[in-house]
Amino acid sequence: MSEIHVPDQTNRLPISVLTGFLGSGKTTLLSKLLRDPDMANTAVVINEFGDVGLDHMLIESSDENTVLMDSGCLCCTIRGDLVDTLRDLFRKRVTGAVPEFDRLVIETTGLADPAPILHTLMSDPLLCARYRLDGVLVTVDGVHGLRQLDAQFEPLKQAAVADRILITKADMVDDAAIDALRERLQKVNPAAPVHVVSNGDIAARHVLNVGLFDPAAKIPDVEKWLREEAYGHDHHHHDHDVNRHDAHIRSFCLTTDAAYSWEAFANWMDALISVHGESLLRVKGVLHVTDTDQPVVVHGVQHVFHPPAVLEAWPNEDRRSRIVMITRDLNRDPVEKMFHAFIDAAP
């Protein structure tokens, strides 16, 4: 894994990834969000072809890839590689070919596995220098969500990796249905706050700035990002209904008081990825390593990890290492045993 380094968070543009299953209301939600003053100067990248449901907002076209919107936003339909699209968009921002924007939203297709997009944002050096992942936002259909979670793995994985979950179409179902869906989603992803939305209406402040870096305070907010209190015990279903795909999802938090070397952690993570990479849906952690007195932050999806970052200071007196893991078909025990095998054996 990469050497640890000091990141520059303030000069990188935040990216929100908006995903959700077919018909769950992503475009309706985005249309409303773009009218919120907190979303001013936002660029939107949509990784699918054809009508994207925003035609009524378009007022002029600048070229085949970019469309200026009346909210002051920029809409780009991907016609190639995501890396090229984001690099080109940043270049146009610098040269003045498009209006300057302060943040970016990537809307995925309804059948998308969000992991490849997160891989791209974490692994490309030029993108990492210009953009930072703020958070993953997931829409879940209030009417059909429970059935979709039973029948399809895509909406389940989307919910499992989310930083914010938005139950849509709340005006079309009763409170009991919403409560049942909320309970199900919180078992899949106990750390992600769940918001109930009607007609796409939600204040942008609930879905922006949900990542590690708090732009208002100009400091990282480790506690909000990890939400380790949500992982008081392993979260998974104990029933044996073969149609309940989320019986395969596990979420847990590994903690340790003792400091260890970065090399020991990196060796463990390399071994874990080589054996169980496909099962690591998402990993977040703040580490107390002997290489530095400052906290080290790690963030990964499956086989790909963002370069580790050294923060300026610990958020409080708690200097335990905390590693949050959301996995598929991978229990806590083998992960924890492998962790201690590497950490305890290290000098």
23 and 149, same structural domain?
yes
Q: Domain end: 214, 230, 265, which one?
A: 214
Domain range for 266:
244-345
Contacts from 72-75 at CB under 8 Å and sequence distance 24+? 72/40, 72/41, 72/99, 73/34, 73/39, 73/41, 73/42, 73/43, 73/44, 73/101, 74/42, 74/43, 74/44, 74/98, 74/99, 74/101, 75/43, 75/44, 75/46
Same domain, 81 and 158: yes
Based on the domain organization, do 78 and 156 belong to the same domain? yes
Is the same domain home to 204 and 282? Answer: no
pLDDT at site 8: 55
Q: What tens digit of pLDDT does each residue of 292-341 get?
A: 999 999 999 888 888 888 888 888 889 999 999 999 999 999 999 999 99
Q: What is the pLDDT of residue 234?
A: 54
CATH of the domain at 93: 3.40.50.300
pLDDT tens for residues 36-95? Answer: 999 888 888 876 544 443 433 432 333 444 444 445 566 665 544 788 888 988 998 899
What average pLDDT does the chain have?
Answer: 83
The more confident residue out of 245 and 344 is 344
Asked whether the predicted pLDDT for residue 150 surpasses 70, the reply is yes
Q: What is the pTM of this model?
A: 0.83
Task: Identify whether residues 322 and 280 lie together within a single domain.
Answer: yes
On whether both 150 and 89 belong to a single domain, the answer is yes
As a whole number, mean pLDDT of residues 19-31 equals: 89
Q: At 330, which CATH number?
A: 3.30.1220.10
Q: Residue 253: pLDDT band by 50, 70, 90 thresholds?
A: very high
How many separate domains does the chain show?
Answer: 2
Domain membership of residue 219 (yes or no) is no
